[in-house]
Chain A
């Protein structure tokens, strides 16, 4: 491979708009009034609001790899924040981190030395999934607020330990489900909660890429350190690294954690010694027979990263950059009682139907209009700093993290066991 198109990030809407076919299978509502925000939305708005408060906040980072560095970039956009110390087992990360910060960050080869420091106000953890609990639990015990990357833990037992420790320590804990802070997703989900597409019965989610998911390794001895996502010891593969975000949004839409999981996966393209599958399929069951289906493949990026929420009145498409509603045709246009005078009052209805031969709708949708389409990670990190400063409970708290972890870990168990796994609530 020596070339790749850079402008691939067409949204589903743009793709849909590119065709000249039309269908009346769906109709677009042109003027939809956003419902008043819930208490949760008010809290999210407060936490993500632009701030001029710049009281010093010293962060310690455990795990200074690519995600840790990306978090640091976002944290450094919050007034008053400084990265004071970092811990990692790979020395090159400290050089990279210093470059990102523009100053020298105190380096520790052992995270316990970092936690022993007295000059840190909060801890950020961006280590491989298999190490999350090992790092989050002592960080909480050290008496500092913690921002922990998703998935919250590698096992359900560890996830529950984190929930218990947050309660015991009375500390702030925020999990890295940053889409909970995305302005367009929050705006869309508020409308879903207000019933705009009816009850959400199905969520179909895709996160497809066309690359090997491998990182360059300067020395073969570093393979498992750098490409940890490909090995079972630290990783639950695509289900965790990509699917956990979508499963979190499904939990949000269903207002429930899943009660059962089925999953499959295989290595069909990259027979390069990896242990985690290069394609996965997950079905989560929710109360009332509702379902979420997540699929991920790594050799075709056509569907990209997107979710569809389906209800009987319409659909919602969520992407990394936007949200778009589509509406089912209103079949019943008139419903009235006909006065017959004989005591019987039959309901007379009329309906319109435009035959579309069940062709998919390929017209435009109704985009969710928002004033500020901010990067979700930038918003999430600012929200965390707000919570540390004010002691307010984060939106993406330990219970949000547990819900997603229940889905991820159970789905992986189902994939391995090749059977449905019930999820204890």
Chain B
């Protein structure tokens, strides 16, 4: 997952905090070793390599990760897809040499990408690629959340009542609240005005994930290409600045931040309808369309904001 995890934790004393945090970071190492697509020895890499040859049996935890990933693919009609590894590679986002691939390269991608090319069998805990070739599963849009949820479970088992976990600043979890407080304050930036804050949310036993193209993008011929793709068109998403999703599970908010980024707002609204304690904010730059769309949060968040000093943690 290649990111920096930070944890702030309230504990009776520093020795206790040290032991708990060491265990938490060990847990992150464990999940990284399970899901990293940069480590050939990870279980996810093994599946990517072998499932083209036939069904690969995997452990229940990895199978749970795959099930959740493809659940969101199915719910979003393919807007969320962990098979996008070749897409990111072809566009140079993995090697940090962003460029538009040739037409021929783009045509080849059609055969290498697609969640519907992966079959899961819950009875045998197997994954199989119908392509009969290796695929490249990329946990980038859900793995951080999965790791955060694993850490949260461990912290709860360790008796921690107040902690704040951040995976690269883009996926956060607020466990309980600091002593004397009702939650952890999180600033949601307003990308329409750099340095401004759309809202400061007070999070308590919930997660927040953000997708944005403000950092990972490249310019070619004056055009800005975002690292978040619409897997259905195999093209970078256009006209979206930032998506932020609050949900009880970090795995879900991580995946949903991509879903909301990729889908048209009306389809996101349909998908999010009825989901417990789930909110979203979307900022766009589509000419003639609203620049801010909210889901289950006050419209006032969409008011324009002047740059302001930081009050909470900013994703």
Q: Which residues of A contact B17 (CB under 8 A)?
A: 1-2
Interface: A216 (CB within 8 A): yes
Interfacial chain B residues near A378, Cβ < 8 Å: 43, 46
| Interface flag for A52 (CB, 8 Å) | yes
Asked if B237 CB lies within 8 Å of chain A CBs, one says: no
Q: Indicate the member of B9, B16, B49 with the most A CB atoms within 10 Å.
A: B49
A6-B4, A77-B59 known; A214-B19 Cβ under 8 A: yes
Taking A212-B22, A218-B158 as given, write out 11 further A-B residue pairs in contact, using a Cβ cutoff of 8 Å, ordered by the A residue number.
A6-B5, A70-B30, A76-B58, A100-B59, A216-B20, A216-B158, A218-B159, A372-B40, A372-B49, A374-B41, A375-B41
- Report the minimal beta-carbon distance from B279 to chain A, rounded to whole angstroms: 28
Query: How far is A375 from B32 in the complex, measured between Cα atoms in Å?
Result: 12
Q: Which of B11-27 contact A (CB under 8 A)?
A: 14-23, 25
Contact B125 A7 (CB under 8 A): no
Provide 29 A-B residue pairs closer than 8 Å at the C-beta atoms, listed in order of the A residue. A2-B9, A3-B6, A3-B8, A4-B6, A4-B25, A5-B4, A6-B32, A7-B2, A7-B3, A50-B50, A76-B58, A76-B59, A77-B57, A78-B57, A100-B60, A101-B60, A211-B18, A212-B18, A212-B22, A214-B18, A214-B22, A216-B19, A216-B20, A218-B158, A321-B39, A374-B40, A374-B46, A375-B43, A376-B41
Interface: A74 (CB within 8 A):
yes
**How far, in whole Å, are A70 and B61 apart by their CA atoms in the complex?**
11
Nearest neighbor of A322 in chain B, beta-carbon distance: B40
A375→B42 contact, CB < 8 A: yes
Smallest CB gap from A214: residue in B: B19
Q: How far is the CB of B160 from chain A (nearest CB, A)?
A: 9
Which B residues fall within an 8 A CB radius of A?
2-9, 14-23, 25, 28, 30, 32-33, 39-43, 45-46, 49-50, 53-55, 57-61, 64, 124-125, 158-159
Bits for A367-381, please: 1 = Cβ < 8 Å to B, else 0. Answer: 000001111101000
How far, in Å, is A131 (CB) from chain B's closest CB?
23
CB within 8 Å of B: which A42-77 residues: 50, 52, 54, 70, 73-74, 76-77
Q: Would A215 and B19 be within 8 Å (CB), given that A3-B6, A7-B3 are in contact?
A: yes
Top 10 A-B pairs ranked by shortest CB distance? A373-B40, A102-B60, A375-B41, A6-B5, A76-B59, A73-B59, A211-B22, A3-B6, A216-B19, A79-B57
Instruction: Please give me the residue from chain A that is nearest to B42 by CB atom.
Output: A375
- Name the contact of A1 in the complex, choosing from B21, B23, B42 (C-beta under 8 A): B21
**Contacts of B8 on A, CB cut-off 8 Å?**
2-3
Question: Roughly how many angstroms separate A54 CA and B121 CA in the complex, as a whole number?
Answer: 15
Is A272 part of the binding interface, using a Cβ–Cβ cutoff of 8 Å?
yes
In the complex the two chains form, is B41's CB within 8 Å of A373's CB?
A: yes
- Residues on B with C-beta less than 8 A from A52 are 54-55
CB distance from A95 to the nearest CB of B (A): 10
- Alpha-carbon separation in the docked complex, A378 to B42 (Å): 10
B61 engages A100 (CB within 8 Å): yes
Cβ-neighbour of A76 out of B2, B3, B20, B60 (below 8 A) = B60
How long is the Cα–Cα vector from A101 to B64 in the complex, in angstroms? 11
Cα A5 to Cα B20 with chains together (Å) = 16
Q: A83 CB to closest chain B CB, in angstroms? A: 11
Q: Give the distance to chain A from B153, nearest Cβ to Cβ, in Å.
A: 9
Distance of A212 Cα from B229 Cα, bound (Å): 43
Given contacts A2-B8, A7-B3, A374-B46, contact A73 B61 (CB under 8 A): yes
Q: Do A375 and B46 contact each other (CB < 8 Å), given the known contacts A6-B25, A212-B19?
A: yes
Report how far A4 CA is from B5 CA in the complex, Å: 7
Cβ contacts under 8 Å, A218 to chain B: 158-159
Closest to B6 in A: A3
Compute how far the CA of A52 lies from the CA of B54 in the bound complex, rounded to whole angstroms: 9
CB distance from B257 to the nearest CB of A (A): 20
- Chain A residue at minimal CB-CB distance from B54: A52
- Across the interface, A375 reaches (CB within 8 A) one of B4, B18, B33, B57, namely B33
User: Distance (Å) between the CB of A153 and the closest chain B CB?
Assistant: 27
By the criterion CB–CB under 8 Å, are B60 and A321 in contact?
A: no
**B25 surroundings in chain A (CB, below 8 A):** 4, 6, 211
Q: Which residues of B contact A375 (CB under 8 A)?
A: 33, 41-43, 46
Q: A374-B41, A375-B43 are in contact. Are A74 and B3 (CB under 8 A)?
A: no
Task: Looking at the assembled complex, report how far the CB atom of B167 sits from the nearest CB atom of chain A, in whole angstroms.
Answer: 9
- Whether A321 contacts B21 by the Cβ 8 Å rule is no
Provide the residues of chain B in CB contact with A211, threshold 8 Å: 18, 22, 25
CA distance A5 to B25 in the complex (A): 9
Which A-chain residue is minimally distant from B20 (CB atoms)? A216
- Which residues between 122 and 164 of chain A lie within 8 Å of chain B, taking CB atoms? none
Distance in angstroms between the alpha carbons of A7 and B40 in the assembled complex: 16
- Given the complex, which residues of B lie within 8 Å of A2, measured CB to CB? 6-9, 17, 21
- Are A50 and B158 closer than 8 Å at their CB atoms? no
Known contacts A216-B158, A375-B33, A76 near B6 by CB under 8 Å: no
Interface centre among A4, A52, A216, A374 (most CB of B within 10 A): A216
Known contacts: A7-B3, A77-B57. The answer to whether A215 contacts B43 by CB under 8 A is: no
Q: In whole angstroms, how far apart are the Cα atoms of A63 and B30 in the complex?
A: 19
Residues of chain A lying within 8 A (CB to CB) of residue B125:
76
| CB of A111, distance to nearest CB on chain B (Å) | 24
CB distance from B31 to the nearest CB of A (A): 11
Interface residues of A in 178-222 (CB under 8 A from B): 211-212, 214-218
